[in-house]
Structure 1
Amino acid sequence: MSLPDRESKVRKTRIAIIGVGLAATPHALALNDLREEVDVVGVLGRSRERLESFANLYGFPLAESLESVLGDPCVDAVLVLTPPHTHLDIALQAAAAGKHVLLEKPLDISTQRAERIVQACHDANVRLGVVFQNRFRPAVQRLAGLVHSGALGPLAYAGLDLRWWRPQSYYDEPGRGTYARDGGGVLMTQAIHSLDLLMWLAGDVSSVSGATVTTTLHSMEAEDFASATLNFKSGAAGYLLATTAAFPGFPERIELAGTHGTAVLEGGALRVFFHDGGKHEFDDPSSTGFGAKPMDFSHVAHRELIRDFCAAIRKDRAPAVVGDDGLRVQRLIERITRGRGGDF
């Protein structure tokens, strides 16, 4: 007698999507890849026309309302893809209804509001995941393995260069690049992903001195250029440069120098140079959306993040990226934008 198929006994995770804007496309593609593991039970959005087009394109059913989704005992989780300033209200309602929450970055427009989300999900005993999908990129996984295994040795410094381009038309969308809707500019919307990677790889930051400006290339409320020097709790030094004013846009670069070697991650290309003469190279040809087309990247990393989040629900464990990860990045961004040093 053959053993039963293990996967056939696994109940699919049932997810509702809230928000069908720019960020929704890679999530939809990822969820369609995961049809054997996940059921999309409904989609909500503000624009009826956009909502129906999105649902028809990806084969998802429409949901009647947020209340109907949160009141349905069969729904396990909500995937929140709405603008940042709406996250707190949705997350509080979802947690109160006992639904797990997977939240597009940032958690919300301020650290204080983000802390309320994390606390509410903790108090309700629901899982809170954050969409920092870049942790699941193949080259990043390779680099993380080297760092966390000690192959590079203790770090001396860690740096991030993010020189991207966004045309003015990108910021002409109502609310984009404002504090009221997005919570900030290049740091909260673009560099937040790479800052998460930097802290995941190099550890927590103890102090920072930063500055932000809006260049003459953009008309927007928040910053499109930021720089900072960082001191990590490990004793390593660090730096940051982030902008969306670098035409035509270039792959972001993370550089880590340790006692055994130096690793350079540039887009999907990883190069490691060891002091003993050894080298390690890995190339992932997929883009990361650094130019005028923000969504010009593969959805595979989103797929793996969603897969991990659903597995966390089924196995009653923490997802790979949790609310506290989102909080520590927002706290760092808040320090940079205020230009303040000192301990965290």
Structure 2
Amino acid sequence: MINFAIVGAGFIAQKHIDAINNAEGANLVAVCDTNEQRLEEYKELCNVYTDLNEMLEQQTDIDVVNICVPSGLHFKLAEIIAAKGKHIVMEKPMALTSSDSEKIIAIAEKANIKLSVVHPNRFRPAIRALQDIKSKGLFGKLSHANATVRWNRGQEYYDQAAWRGTKEFDGGVLMNQAIHNLDLFIWFMGPIKSVQAMAATRLRDIETEDVAVGVVEFESGALGVIEAATTIYPKNLEESLSIFGEAGTVKVGGPNAIYFETLNVSDINEEEKNKLIENIKEDPFGKPGHQWIIEDMVRAVETNTEPVVTGKDGLAPVKLIESFLESAETGKKVFLQ
């Protein structure tokens, strides 16, 4: 068994706990949070701590620590955990800057520990099927792609915690809500060469953007369009990823990018297409993405291999978002290299 601990007992921690409890080969041994009240519900489940250093010193059986604190604290905690030789599962975003993300990668490499970033949408059935189509070259030459997140996060969402919507600890719609979609955008289309964008804070009383639009050029020469907003009334409308190539047009959509809304690929006949669409409708989420991440970390530790979603994977969307916001601020095209 690989023993896991969690630091940060907020909302997302429950997904990690469920994933660890359901994952083969994983065992939860500790939860840490500076807020004692949050720890009450976990006291019968595992050991609890209010100090990370104390947990790492006393709980010597920990193999992996899952970082679930506000994003602005990721680098600081990763540094402490890596110094103790513990592997890391990092909640998204990896960090709020590419500089901190690169530092996390460097300290993990120096400490010879595994680092995995939580981008669980890669494991949804429709996304896995889309990746299979892409990996087989069935799209042919790619022309462009579209990443869209049209969600609602009302003011009450941001008011739940003082760190939400701040530049120091949280980030805006791109870093917080759209980052999983942007991870898929890059995963399918490859490295990005340049971005030109606009962003604004239109409806929410926050420091960061609540709506952003932009265009990108991939290193392959393909183009892309990004739209992200938390200003949609009255509820989430759409999260989608569309890919267009010389032999295929595919859109994965719905409120959370889980269904094939369009599936037209020259080498997939009508019967195969309908079967694939129906199979995904029957089980659109499949095994929870967090469980995939935990089981993959167990595999990586046991076999001494790299996790499927690496630190470099986590860096890519952070670098895109950073460049996106720089372009929005300066009004100029920004080159990522």
CA distance in 2, matches of 1:235, 1:77: 40
CA distance in 1, matches of 2:245, 2:195: 21
Aligned pair partner of 1:40 in 25, 28, 31? 28
Q: Note if contact 1:41-1:63 (Cα within 8 Å) is conserved in structure 2.
A: no
Aligned pair partner of 1:179 in 151, 154, 167? 167
Letter in 1 for 2:325: T
* 1:103 positional shift: 0.6
Other-structure match for 1:251? 238
CA distance in 1, matches of 2:50, 2:204: 39
* 1:24 positional shift: 1.1
* SS of alignment partner, residue 208 of structure 1: strand
Aligned pair partner of 1:341 in 325, 333, 337? 333
Aligned pair partner of 2:179 in 192, 201, 209? 192
Structure 1: stretches of 5+ with no match in the other structure: 1-11, 288-296
RMSD: 1.9
Which 10-residue stretch deviates more, 299-308 or 119-128? 299-308
Structure 1 residues 277-332: Cα deviation after superposition (integer angstroms, max 9, x where no partner): 83424334678xxxxxxxxx887111111111121111111101011111111110
Structure 2: stretches of 5+ with no match in the other structure: none
CA distance in 1, matches of 2:130, 2:42: 36
Matches within 5 A, 1:15-34: 15-34=4-23
Other-structure match for 1:263? 250
Other-structure match for 1:305? 293
Letter in 2 for 1:17: I
Matches within 5 A, 1:322-337: 322-337=310-325
Aligned pair partner of 1:236 in 222, 231, 234? 222
Going from structure 1 to structure 2, the CA distance change for 1:135 and 1:45 (only over 3 Å counts) comes to same
Letter in 2 for 1:343: F
Query: More helix per residue: 1 or 2?
Result: 2
1:272 aligned to 2:258? Answer: no
Going from structure 1 to structure 2, the CA distance change for 1:284 and 1:55 (only over 3 Å counts) comes to farther
Other-structure match for 2:106? 119
Query: TM (normalized to structure 1)?
Result: 0.88
Other-structure match for 2:48? 62
Structure 1 residues 99-141: Cα deviation after superposition (integer angstroms, max 9, x where no partner): 1111101122222112111111011111111011111111111
Q: Note if contact 2:17-2:28 (Cα within 8 Å) is conserved in structure 1.
A: no
Other-structure match for 1:210? 197
Q: Note if contact 2:200-2:209 (Cα within 8 Å) is conserved in structure 1.
A: yes
Which 10-residue stretch deviates more, 110-119 or 155-164? 110-119
Letter in 2 for 1:235: G
Q: Note if contact 1:55-1:61 (Cα within 8 Å) is conserved in structure 2.
A: yes
Which 10-residue stretch deviates more, 329-338 or 25-34? 25-34
Other-structure match for 1:98? 85
Q: Note if contact 1:264-1:272 (Cα within 8 Å) is conserved in structure 2.
A: yes
CA distance in 2, matches of 1:301, 1:277: 27
* 1:276 positional shift: 6.6
CA distance in 1, matches of 2:189, 2:155: 34
Query: TM (normalized to structure 2)?
Result: 0.90
Give identity over the alignment, percent.
Answer: 33
Going from structure 1 to structure 2, the CA distance change for 1:276 and 1:74 (only over 3 Å counts) comes to closer
Other-structure match for 1:316? 304
CA distance in 2, matches of 1:177, 1:326: 21
Going from structure 1 to structure 2, the CA distance change for 1:45 and 1:273 (only over 3 Å counts) comes to same
* 1:93 positional shift: 1.1
CA distance in 2, matches of 1:333, 1:342: 11
* 1:143 positional shift: 0.6
Going from structure 1 to structure 2, the CA distance change for 1:277 and 1:39 (only over 3 Å counts) comes to closer
Going from structure 1 to structure 2, the CA distance change for 1:300 and 1:121 (only over 3 Å counts) comes to same
Q: Note if contact 1:199-1:205 (Cα within 8 Å) is conserved in structure 2.
A: yes
Q: What is the number of equivalent residue pairs in this alignment?
A: 319
CA distance in 1, matches of 2:303, 2:142: 34
CA distance in 2, matches of 1:308, 1:328: 20
Other-structure match for 2:132? 145
Q: Which runs of 4+ in 1 moved over 4 A?
A: 284-287
